């Protein structure tokens, strides 16, 4: 079973264009995300699924420098882009990651892939009931499941949000949510990048932790927020856009 982390990433983000290439600690955010994915023991390969837009030539150039896979497809039909990226990489299992999560935790990924491999679920994630901070979003499912979804729905929302149809149809797919052991006060931390405020928080976190330990984990993040609770206020007012 070949497990591939497929990262949806493009330069033309509506709220913060070019965010994936913004530098932090001297590296683009997307490169930092890839570094963290490469530490996951249960991931065999990392592929960036980007678009055919000219602006995403930068993304492809970065993948070449990092020595990882790149697939270019539709900007708006993200489901098709990820499905075709998985097929090109000969992936049996997809670990779906979005490019706005540069603090993704490799230990969390390994835990979720372990749960998926040891059970008979169609879909394992940590987003169905949120007990992990937003930005550690990890979803695991078979490529064959995504192929099935592509045959079942033409809804534009389903094709923009890759896993939406899967977790909205528990009568068809066996779903499992992995929950954290974090105190409830940390469940609503916002560790994703959609706005300038989000980017400022990520920059502060990396400047605090990366030079000490590039392989910092969720535990290190929580320790930092306990030492510096004012960090939470940087982007606490930002609201996530609804998928529907």
Q: Does a structural domain hold residue 114?
A: yes
Reported pTM:
0.96
Number of helices and strands in the chain (H, E): 9, 9
Q: Does a structural domain hold residue 241?
A: no
CATH for 55: 3.90.550.10
Q: Does a structural domain hold residue 16?
A: yes
Q: Does a structural domain hold residue 205?
A: yes
Q: Does a structural domain hold residue 99?
A: yes
* Mean of pLDDT over the chain: 97
Residue-level pLDDT at 243:
80
**Confidence bin at 241 (pLDDT 50/70/90):** confident
What's the distance, CA 60 to chain centroid?
18
**Residue 14 pLDDT > 80, yes or no?**
no
Give the domain extent around 168: 3-234
Q: Does a structural domain hold residue 36?
A: yes
Q: Does a structural domain hold residue 39?
A: yes
Number of domains in the chain: 1
**Confidence bin at 133 (pLDDT 50/70/90):** very high
Instruction: Report in angstroms the alpha-carbon separations of 190 from 32, 37, 97, 101, 132.
Output: 18, 19, 16, 10, 10
Instruction: Report in angstroms the alpha-carbon separations of 183 from 109, 190, 195, 231, 234.
Output: 20, 15, 26, 17, 20
What is the distance between the alpha carbons of residues 171 and 168, in angstroms, rounded to a whole number? 9
**Tokens, residue 131:** 């007990």
Looking from the CA of 5 toward its CB, the CA atoms found within 13 Å total: 30
The one-character DSSP state at 71 is E
pLDDT > 70: what percent of the chain? 100
Residue-level pLDDT at 139:
98
Q: Does a structural domain hold residue 87?
A: yes
Which H/E stretch holds residue 96?
A: strand 93-98
- Model confidence pLDDT, tens digit, residues 155-168: 999 999 999 999 99
Exposed/middle/buried for residue 243 (C-beta within 10 Å: 0-12, 13-18, 19+) = exposed
Q: Are 11 and 18 in contact (CB under 8 A)?
A: yes
């Amino acid at each position: 079973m070949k497990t591939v982390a497929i990262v949806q990433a493009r330069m033309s983000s509506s709220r913060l264009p070019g965010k994936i290439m913004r530098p932090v600690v001297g590296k683009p955010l997307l490169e930092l995300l890839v570094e963290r994915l490469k530490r996951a023991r249960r991931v065999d390969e990392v592929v960036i699924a980007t678009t055919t837009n000219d602006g995403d030539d930068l993304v492809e150039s970065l993948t070449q420098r990092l020595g990882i896979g790149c697939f270019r497809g539709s900007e708006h039909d993200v489901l098709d882009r990820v499905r075709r990226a998985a097929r090109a990489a000969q992936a049996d299992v997809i670990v779906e990651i979005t490019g706005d999560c540069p603090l993704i935790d490799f230990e969390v990924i390994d835990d979720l892939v372990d749960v998926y491999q040891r059970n008979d679920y169609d879909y394992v994630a940590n987003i169905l009931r949120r007990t992990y901070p937003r930005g550690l979003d990890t979803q695991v499912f078979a490529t064959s499941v995504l192929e099935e979804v592509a045959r079942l729905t033409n809804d534009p929302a389903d094709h923009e949000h890759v896993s939406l149809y899967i977790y909205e149809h528990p009568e068809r797919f066996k779903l499992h949510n992995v929950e954290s052991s974090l105190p409830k006060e940390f469940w609503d931390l916002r560790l994703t990048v959609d706005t300038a405020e989000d980017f400022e928080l990520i920059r502060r976190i990396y400047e605090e932790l990366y030079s000490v330990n590039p392989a910092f984990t969720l535990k290190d993040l929580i320790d930092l927020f306990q030492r510096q609770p004012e960090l939470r206020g940087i982007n606490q007012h930002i609201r996530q856009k609804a998928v529907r």
